[in-house]
Chain A
Amino acid sequence: MMDKHREAFREEAHELLTELETALLELERMPSDEEVIGRVFRAMHTIKGSGAMFGFDRVAAFTHDVETVYDRVRNGKFLVTKLLIDMTLSARDEILKMIDDTEQGETEDNAITEAISRSFRDMLLAPETPPSVDVPVDVSVDATGDTGQPVIDAPEAPSVDEREVTYRIRFRPESGIFTSGTNPTLLLNELRDLGPCDIIANTDSIPFLDIMDSEVCYTAWDIILTTTQDKNAIRDVFIFVEDNCDLHIDVIDDSNQTDAKPEYKKLGEILVERGDLNANELKTVLDAQKRIGSLLVDSGMVSTDQVQAALVEQQHIREMRLKRQASESTASIRVPAEKLDNLVNMVGELVTVQSRLSQLAARFNDLSLIQVAEEVERLTAELRDNTMSIRMLPIGATFSRFERLVRDLSTELGKDIVLNTEGAETELDKTVIEKLNDPLIHIIRNSIDHGIEMPEARKLAGKPEQGTVNLSAEHSGANVFIRISDDGAGFDVEAIRTKAVEKGMIAPDAVLSEKEIFSLTLTPGFSMAKNITNVSGRGVGMDVVKKGIDALQGTIEMVSKKGVGTTITLKLPLTMAIIDGLLVQIENVHYIMPLAAIEECVELTREDVASAHGKHIARIRGEIVPYIRLREMFMHGGMAPAIEQIVTARIDDVRVGFVVDQVVGQHQTVIKSMSRMYRDIEHVSGATILGDGNVALILDLPKLAQHAEMIEKQARHD
């Protein structure tokens, strides 16, 4: 490609040199004709510029001196003399020779070119004809010199050994920046490519719409950038706008300061350092007792945007330092699980004590006590989160165990099955993982046993002989989804239905959705084994799985298509030790409902009850919701208040209401298991100690709903 361009240049140079010759001869006749001088200069200029582009470096270097002389001539600093014309003509011939010569390689006529060059240079050194200010002339030409070229290969440029430095870049473009064709967002994007970057737009100067000029740039930006590139790389981003903007680049953090704490400067200090605020102003304001940010804004010394920008800087540095520390101390220590459990227990107690403290503080209404209580609350919450995260383990270890299971089982059954796992790094609470093991084994066994067909059958069905079981885990909010899917035979909806009717679980004319039919398989006593396929086997009832997942506060969802496969999704809470609960009250007894399943709380008045004609049904947002009166279920005596509360929850995709006297509020619930004596009590999954030292039972909402349904059915049968 380059050769083609070189050839094009050579042709062009020949034309230019011919033009140069003509122009020079004309110039001799009219030594002061500016137009002709311009032509000479331009010819030289183009030869030099294009020559350098296409690798004719010697031509470029040689022509440079000649061009420089003519630049002076053009500016009226030199007069055109016969000598100059002679010199230029010989120079022109030399250039022609050089251009043609390069074909054979480097020329040996260095002596001649040297001589010509020298005479031009001498001319430059000699006093200028019309005496004027002596301008220092740069006679050396180096093609790669500091020409102000944007450093294009910046990414490859030797950066300082991966040292991460954080810069504060304040960029305020001139108001007319748009009319130079500059798009500031492109510059910001370029910065983003350099490293983790927080950008805050300062919009204080944007005027009201009626006086705003849409062609004017009113915005300034503060950018906090952490990068391994040096300052010059950042300057290069702004190379074209350097003169048209107010640009400050300061180092505000350096990874060499490894001992630095994640705490960065205080907000006030940052503002002072940036010059947005002076130290005295800061001091006056600091004496007051409000959040400094809002105070400063209130007092009008800085704008909200400026404070925001400073806060972002603080945050950015904090995160960077934390990350750095994390990477520096990757070493881990092994701790017996028991110690961890103890820690969690203690944190649990601490949470309890803390909420008592908060209650007390609130009751005494003593400011200093409240302050301490709030501090303790904050610390406790952090401690809790940290402790919980220690207990998190990747699910990968469990996954790998199943590979063996699949291998052994499929060989035994004469099937060819491969297990794919995904999301092995997903973290879950240790206890959840432990309790998840059995349900997962059941599900996978079912898939292998009943789901995936024998190789011959698969071949007949047009599927690959090798069956696949996919096992995946992923985080979503406070939940983890575990998906087990196979490409086997799938559920036979009709068969399940027939069997269910046979067993008297559903009425023959019951209208059930596919989902409802699938969920029938989770009912105790419903065995798919003998009904759907005829593989004699372990006949593991899915109800075992259901029980296990329920114990983990999780839910099961099944999707299946006959002949295509089955996917079972388990939705599990991240942790079991502490949950978010809703504290409710009936008479003077407290209960906790796991918040995860709860949708909303609405009032239930006596009129509502009356209008439902004795049925336990409420109309909530146009939907009929059956409800359970916990007051009756738990046999509290006394009268219900005039206005009760329905807490609605979604259980197995059905909305169910639970009626209580009063909803107290959200409550961080440390789950305590019940002693062995109470372990078999249904409807209650555990207990917790409230702030005032009382015990509240944690309700098992799905069980309660099931129970109510059973009673309902019995009532109907009677």
Chain B
Amino acid sequence: MSKVIMTVDDSASIRQMVSFTLRDAGYEVIEAVDGKDALGKVDAQALNMVITDLNMPNLDGISLIRALRALPSCKFIPIVMLTTESQVEKKQEGKAAGATGWIVKPFKPEQLIAVVKKVLG
């Protein structure tokens, strides 16, 4: 059974690109437009991984990560944050919230796959 990855991003084009790339690599993808939307979709299906943007309306990425980690089903899954910021603080904030790793935008599809493989095995 293919692994399920949720991509959370308020930018439709990024979502599209992430989903396309991941589906192409054989993963199943669930899309969410922001943190709130993501939390609403978590229960629907067991997730193997979450890729989330940080800056989003309604519920931002950091808060989403915190909320996910509080759920038993998401306690140990890899969560990777997409960030345009190269600033250390943001990364650290994310890591402190429970993020597994990060991908810095802009990234190429291959880089996305490489990071997914790295944390998902």
Contact = CB atoms under 8 A, between A and B. Distances in A.
B101 A152 contact: no
Given A49-B11, A181-B100, A240 B119 contact: yes
A181 B14 contact: no
Interface in B9-54: 10-14, 16-17, 20, 49
B110 A152 contact: yes
Nearest to A145: B86
A150 B106 contact: no
B121 A42 contact: no
Contacts of B49: 181
A330 interface: no
A72 to B, nearest CB: 13
B107 A240 contact: no
B113 to A, nearest CB: 9
A481 to B, nearest CB: 39
B118 A190 contact: yes
Interface centre among A143, A148, A190 (most CB of B within 10 A): A148
Interface string B80-114: 00101010100110010011111111111011001
A178 B100 CA distance: 9
A5 B17 contact: yes
A148 B114 CA distance: 15
A179 B76 contact: yes
Interface in A95-151: 143, 145-150
A152 B119 CA distance: 13
A390 interface: no
Contacts of B105: 49-50, 52-53
Given A148-B104, A244-B95, A53 B17 contact: yes
Nearest to B12: A12
Contact of B91 (A1, A5, A148): A148
Given A54-B13, A181-B98, A42 B57 contact: yes
A180 interface: yes
A212 B13 CA distance: 46
B79 A181 contact: yes
A149 B100 contact: no
B13 A50 contact: yes
Secondary structure dominating the interface of A: helix
Contact of B103 (A38, A149, A186): A149
A239 B104 CA distance: 13
B13 A5 contact: yes
A9 B100 CA distance: 28
A45 B78 contact: no
Contacts of B76: 178-179, 181, 215
A329 to B, nearest CB: 39
Interface size band for B: 35 or more
Contacts of A181: 49, 76-79, 98-100, 119
A146 B106 contact: no
B92 A147 contact: no
A624 interface: no
Given A5-B17, A8-B16, A49-B84, A182 B78 contact: yes
Contact of B106 (A52, A148, A185, A189): A52
Interface in B58-90: 69, 75-79, 82, 84, 86, 88
A149 B13 contact: no
Given A181-B76, A189-B121, A49 B102 contact: no
Contacts of A162: none
A145 B104 CA distance: 10
B77 A12 contact: no
A658 B32 CA distance: 79
A53 B106 contact: yes
Interface of A: 1, 5, 8-9, 11-12, 38-39, 41-42, 45-46, 48-50, 52-54, 60, 143, 145-150, 152-153, 178-183, 185-186, 189-190, 215, 239-240, 243-244
19 contacts: A42-B10, A46-B10, A46-B14, A48-B84, A49-B82, A49-B105, A52-B105, A53-B106, A54-B17, A147-B104, A148-B88, A149-B103, A152-B110, A152-B111, A153-B110, A181-B77, A181-B78, A182-B78, A185-B121
The 5 closest A-B pairs by CB, nearest first: A52-B106, A240-B101, A181-B100, A9-B13, A181-B78
